[in-house]
RNA sequence: GACCCCAUCGUCUAGUCUGGUCUAGGACUCCACCCUUUCAAGGUGGCAACACGGGUUCGAAUCCCGUUGGGGUCGCCA
């Protein structure tokens, strides 16, 4: 659990993260003791973690009120392998684990499964942690690196060997490949023949002592292996379809199923929440738990996320990492809300939910067994909903860097006009679905030239002479207007002037909108003028008049 | 191919365990209307589904069997 911690050299265990919370800022100090390098990384996190801590306390209080049955405290883990970025499927698995931990007042352990050293990179580990942090997912322990518990894995394999639950297998890669090929040509599923099963232990030891290359295989007993899955219900596998599987490679490295089982046992994981694609690994792992005389955890297999073509969501669908959604300007609370609704529902009609509400409502039982298609449109809608619930100032804080990198304004300029900027954001956010939309819509409110959008020109400046006439009236109105903050008065005065000059007030406002913003989309025209200020409005009208004049000349 | 999982509007889903209250509810998208200086937002309404076939039952979206369809897994990857 996070909290103010003492940071001493002794508290920096290899591969551990320490968290110090002060004010609203969380600083994590990590010793990334990985096979690649050992270094200290100090990372500042946003305030999202502080928010989630708040949630946790909230939930815990309600738990103490006696709503939850007395049972072993929940301990879950998220165990990504750093061979790629954090994709949406992994993100949702992490989210479900987190929601379950926070809902039940349990703990979330983060474990990096880096046993495939060839494909694991430190960059990916960092990317995954960043993604989790952005989503507001915090963890109570870790990250642990699986490669560091290699000794435990090996010891477990030796235990199995000693108990005769496993045996040495001297089959070569080539032999196995031939077996597999033969099985395929016979149109059968491949299971290891068990060729080395019957080698007497004494003989096997002899060969091992001689240094003959061998793997350690688990001796799958006959019978059936079953469990009650928290999402799928009773699930059963016939052990004949499993086949003796390798537990320790010939180079002494543990294989996934062994490593996971030993780690989950050692970390006392009570609930394993992971993707559906692990269902077929589950019987193997249960067999290992049993052979290791460990308590079998509860399993919850979450259905996969599919692309629009109903295939497993992949890069081909343009579904990049979580970071892509972050860059596109989605809000973490909207993103997690959306992900939570993919395969889970609160059971009532609620859809727009805060993280606190998600935590409160979450349960494993309400996860559906059916895989879900990732629908970006719904994500966009949800993002708009969350955006509209935020205050202008809060939105301003989030988009400020985007204005700066887009070169629209400098940090200093924005700081000087902080209140104005917050009000501007409040104005444009109902029209925006992402933070990028916000930038586009707010751009005309800053000085400098604007481009006239062809569709706006076609619709509201179709008759150039008429447009020029309308803008002429607008110019004389603006000229005499002194109260730019009096929205109602402005409208009354403009309408009166239109009446007097017998021009359509509606047409004028539309033509004016194009002159001011270059688009046909903007907040109310008086709000727009108020936010721009008189000098910019005058400047824009003059520019438009000039443009229209040139157009008329040319025609 | 074998094994496993899944099957309600185009999509996300409620309803399935504990059959009747379901002429199947909500949401996204789309369409229409209202509001309106534009675009959104908001409001109102509309289009749209129980995969198929058997059974059980007075009664099935719900229980059982089969078919079909989709997905996942079948590595000294994780």
Tens of pLDDT along A424-438?
999 999 999 999 999
pLDDT at residue A50 greater than cutoff 50: no
| CA A343 / C1′ B64 distance in Å | 27
Q: What percentage of chain A has pLDDT greater than the value 70?
A: 86
Least confident piece of the model among A159-163, A283-287, A482-486:
A482-486
pLDDT at residue A63 greater than cutoff 60: no
User: pLDDT tens digits for A74-124?
Assistant: 999 999 999 888 999 999 999 999 999 999 999 999 999 998 777 888 889
Cα atoms found within 13 Å of the Cα of residue A309, Cβ hemisphere only: 9
pLDDT score of A482: 82
Confidence of residue A24 (pLDDT cuts 50, 70, 90): very low
Q: Which of residues 273-302 of A touch strand B (CB under 7 A)?
A: 276-281
Q: Which nucleotide is nearest to A119 (CA to C1')?
A: B77
Query: By C-alpha distance, which of A379, A364, A385, A231 is closest to A308?
Result: A379
Q: Give the distance between the most distant pair of CA atoms in chain A.
A: 110
Structural tokens at position A552: 């008329």
Contact between residue A509 and residue A485 where contact means Cβ atoms under 8 Å apart: no
Cis check: omega of the bond before A241, within 30 degrees of 0: no
Average pLDDT over residues A282-292: 97
pLDDT score of A9: 30
Alpha-carbon radius of gyration of chain A: 31
| CA A352 / C1′ B30 distance in Å | 22
Structural tokens at position A71: 């049972």
How open is the CA angle A342-A348-A352, to the nearest 5 degrees? 55
Roughly what angle, to the nearest 10 degrees, separates helices A487-501 and A525-532? 110
Bridge pairing between strands A305-306 and A372-373: parallel
| CA A271 / C1′ B22 distance in Å | 36
Determine whether the distance from the CB of A307 to the nearest atom of strand B is below 7 Å: no
pLDDT score of A290: 96
Non-local (6+) Cβ contacts of A359 within 8 A are A55, A59, A99, A102, A103
Determine whether the distance from the CB of A36 to the nearest atom of strand B is below 7 Å: no
User: How does A363-390 read in b/e, with b if 16+ C-beta sit within 10 Å?
Assistant: ebeebeeebbebeeeebbbbbbbbbeeb
Query: By C-alpha distance, which of A364, A297, A361 is closest to A109?
Result: A297
| CA A434 / C1′ B33 distance in Å | 28
**CA-to-CA separations, A96 to A47, A259, A385, A465, in angstroms, rounded:** 21, 22, 22, 61
User: How does A494-531 read in b/e, with b if 16+ C-beta sit within 10 Å?
Assistant: beebbeeeebebebbbbbbbbbbbbbeebbebbebbbb
The ipTM (two decimal places) reads: 0.94
Q: Which nucleotide is nearest to A347 (CA to C1')?
A: B14
Rounded-to-integer distance, Cα A538 and Cα A18, Å: 57
Structural tokens at position A37: 């390098």
User: pLDDT tens digits for A186-211?
Assistant: 777 788 988 899 999 899 999 999 99
**CA-to-CA separations, A452 to A240, A392, A465, A501, A538, in angstroms, rounded:** 71, 27, 17, 27, 17
Average pLDDT over residues A29-47: 31
**Residue found under tokens 């490593």:** A259
Determine whether the distance from the CB of A337 to the nearest atom of strand B is below 7 Å: no
| CA A516 / C1′ B61 distance in Å | 56
Protein residue with the closest CA to the C1' atom of nucleotide B4: A280
| CA A3 / C1′ B78 distance in Å | 33
* This prediction's pTM: 0.84
pLDDT at residue A417 greater than cutoff 60: yes
Rounded-to-integer distance, Cα A98 and Cα A56, Å: 10
Determine whether the distance from the CB of A116 to the nearest atom of strand B is below 7 Å: yes
Protein residue with the closest CA to the C1' atom of nucleotide B70: A310
For the CA atoms of A46, A50, A55, A61, the dihedral, rounded to the nearest 10 degrees, stands at 170
Determine whether the distance from the CB of A393 to the nearest atom of strand B is below 7 Å: no
Catalytic residues of A: 315
Determine whether the distance from the CB of A506 to the nearest atom of strand B is below 7 Å: yes
């Amino acid at each position: 659990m996070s909290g103010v911690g003492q940071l001493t050299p002794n508290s920096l265990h290899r591969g551990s993260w320490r968290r110090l919370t002060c004010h609203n800022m969380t600083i994590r100090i990590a010793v990334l003791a990985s096979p690649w390098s050992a270094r200290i990384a100090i990372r500042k996190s946003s305030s999202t973690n502080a928010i989630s801590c708040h949630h946790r306390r909230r939930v815990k209080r309600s738990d103490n009120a006696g709503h939850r049955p007395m049972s072993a405290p929940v301990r879950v883990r998220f165990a990504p392998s750093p061979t790629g970025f954090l994709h949406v499927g992994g993100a949702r698995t992490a989210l479900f684990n987190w929601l379950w931990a926070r809902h039940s007042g349990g703990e979330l352990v983060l474990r990096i499964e880096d046993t495939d050293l060839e494909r694991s990179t430190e960059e990916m580990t960092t990317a995954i942690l960043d993604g989790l942090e952005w989503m507001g997912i915090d963890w109570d322990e870790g990250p642990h690196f699986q490669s560091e518990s290699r000794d435990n894995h090996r010891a477990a394999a030796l235990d199995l060997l000693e108990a005769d639950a496993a045996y040495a297998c001297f089959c070569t890669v080539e032999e196995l490949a031939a077996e597999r090929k033969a099985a395929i040509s016979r149109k059968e599923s491949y299971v290891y023949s068990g060729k080395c099963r019957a080698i007497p232990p004494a003989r096997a030891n002899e060969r091992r002592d001689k240094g003959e290359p061998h793997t350690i295989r688990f001796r799958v007993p006959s019978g059936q292996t079953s469990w009650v899955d928290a999402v799928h219900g009773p699930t059963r596998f016939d052990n004949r379809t499993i086949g003796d599987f390798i537990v320790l490679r010939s180079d002494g490295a543990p294989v996934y199923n062994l490593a996971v089982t030993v780690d989950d046992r050692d970390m006392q994981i009570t609930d394993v929440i992971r993707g559906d694609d692990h269902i077929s690994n589950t019987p193997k792992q249960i067999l290992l738990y049993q052979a290791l005389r460990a308590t079998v955890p509860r399993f919850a297999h979450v259905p996969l996320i599919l692309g629009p073509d109903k295939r497993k969501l992949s890069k081909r669908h343009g579904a990049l990492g979580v970071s892509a959604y972050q860059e596109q300007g989605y809000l973490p609370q909207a993103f997690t809300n959306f992900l939570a609704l993919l395969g889970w529902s609160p059971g009532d009609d609620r859809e727009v939910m805060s993280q606190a509400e998600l935590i409160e409502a979450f349960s494993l039982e309400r996860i559906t067994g059916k895989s879900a298609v990732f629908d970006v449109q719904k994500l966009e809608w949800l993002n708009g909903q969350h955006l509209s619930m935020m205050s202008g100032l809060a939105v301003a804080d989030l988009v400020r860097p985007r204005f700066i990198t887009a070169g629209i304004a400098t940090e200093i300029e924005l700081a000087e006009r902080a209140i104005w900027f917050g009000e501007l954001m409040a104005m444009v956010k109902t029209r925006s679905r992402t933070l990028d939309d916000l930038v586009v819509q707010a751009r005309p409110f800053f000085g400098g030239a604007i481009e006239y959008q062809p569709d706006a020109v076609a619709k509201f400046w179709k008759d150039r002479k008429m447009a020029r006439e309308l803008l002429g009236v607008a110019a004389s109105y603006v000229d005499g207007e002194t109260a730019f903050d009096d929205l109602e008065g402005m409208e009354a005065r403009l309408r009166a002037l239109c009446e007097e000059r017998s021009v359509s007030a509606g047409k004028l406002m539309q033509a004016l909108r194009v002159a001011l913003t270059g688009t046909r989309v903007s907040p109310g025209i008086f709000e727009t003028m108020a936010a721009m200020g008189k000098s910019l409005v005058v400047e824009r009208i003059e520019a438009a008049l000039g443009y229209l004049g040139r157009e008329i000349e040319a025609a």
